[in-house]
Structure 1
C-alpha cells in the first residue's frame, strides 16, 4: 500500500464526491481514479479493498463536517448555543456533498456490518462528546433533542430543499434552547 498522505486524502475526498453523485453502488476504484484525475489503478494502490475505501470515506466525512475548535471558546449562553447550531447548519450546507455521501454510507452500512460498527462507534463518540460538552458548559436545552432535531432538519433541507418553511430552524432552535435538559 502506498503511504503518500496527501494523495490518500485526495482519493478519499474523490470517493466522497462519487458517493454523493452516484451512491455506494457507483463507488469503484476506477470511478475514484476518474474523479481524482489520477492514472487508472492509483486507488487500488492505496486501499486494500472497497470496504477499506468506504470506511476511510466515512471517517473523513466526519472530520470534514466537524466543528472548528475556535468556535467553541465562548462563555456558555443561549446565544452561544444558538450560534453553534447555526454554524452546524452552515457547515453541513457548505459541504452538502459530504453530508449526502454520509447518508449513502449510512445506508450502505445496513448491508455491511463492519462499516456499520465503525460508523456507529464514530457517531456515538461524537454524540457523547457533544452531550458532555453541553452539560459541562451548562448550555440550555436537551442536547439529544437538539441533535435529533437539527439532524432531521438538515436531512430535509439537503435532500428535499424547499419542503420546510423559511425560518423554521430559527423558530425550533428558540423553542429547544428554552427547554430544560431531560
Structure 2
C-alpha cells in the first residue's frame, strides 16, 4: 500500500463525502477517486479493499467531528456548571451542522456495520473510545453529573442530531436551544 499520509487523509475525506451523499453502496474506489480529484486507480493503491476503506473511514470520521482545541479551551474558561454543559452541547450541534456530511457518513457507517462484522468491531471500538473520552473529559472538568449523566446526554443528543440533520424541518432551529437546555436541566 502506498504511504503518503496527506493523500490518504484526502482520500478518506473524499470517501466520507461519497458515503454521506451516495450511501455505502455508492462508495467505490472509482467514486472516491472522482471525489478526491485524483487519477483513476489512486484509491486502490491506498486501501487493500473496500473493507479497509470503510475501517479507515470509521477510524478517521471522529477527527473531523472533534472540536478545535483552542476554541474548546476558550469555552472551558467558564465555570463548570450546567450552563457550560449547555454551551458545549450547542457547540457540538454547531460543529455537526457545519460538517453535516461527516455525521451523515457516520450514520451510513452505522447502518453498514450491521452487515459487516469487521466494520462493526472497528466502529464499536472507535465510538466506545470516543464516548469514554467524553465521560473522562466531563468528569475531569468538574462538570455537574456523573457517568450516567454523560451517557444520557450522549444518547439524547444522538437522537436530536439525527432528527435535525436528516429532517431539519421537524424541529425548528430556535427550538433546538430550548431542547438542549431542557436536556441538561433534567439530567
| Smaller-chain TM-score bracket | over 0.9
Instruction: Tell me the equivalent position of 2:69.
Output: 69
Instruction: Tell me the equivalent position of 1:55.
Output: 55
Pairwise CA distance, 1:45: 0.6
Task: Measure, in 1, the Cα distance between the counterparts of 2:94 and 2:173.
Answer: 15
Task: Measure, in 2, the Cα distance between the counterparts of 1:6 and 1:166.
Answer: 36
Instruction: Tell me the equivalent position of 1:78.
Output: 82
Pairwise CA distance, 1:66: 1.2
CA contact (8 A) 1:8 1:46 kept: yes
Asked if residue 175 in structure 1 is aligned to residue 175 in structure 2, the reply is no
Asked if residue 133 in structure 1 is aligned to residue 137 in structure 2, the reply is yes
Q: Which range moves more in the overlay, 124-133 or 75-84? A: 75-84
Asked if residue 91 in structure 1 is aligned to residue 98 in structure 2, the reply is no
When normalised by structure 1's length, the TM-score is 0.92
Could you say what the CA RMSD is over the residues aligned between the two structures, in angstroms? 1.5
Asked if residue 9 in structure 1 is aligned to residue 9 in structure 2, the reply is yes
DSSP 3-state at the match of 1:164 = coil
Asked if residue 154 in structure 1 is aligned to residue 158 in structure 2, the reply is no
Q: Which range moves more in the overlay, 64-73 or 91-100? A: 64-73
Pairwise CA distance, 1:135: 2.3
Instruction: Tell me the equivalent position of 2:38.
Output: 38
How many residues are matched? Answer: 180
Unaligned runs of 5+ in 2: none
CA contact (8 A) 1:33 1:40 kept: yes
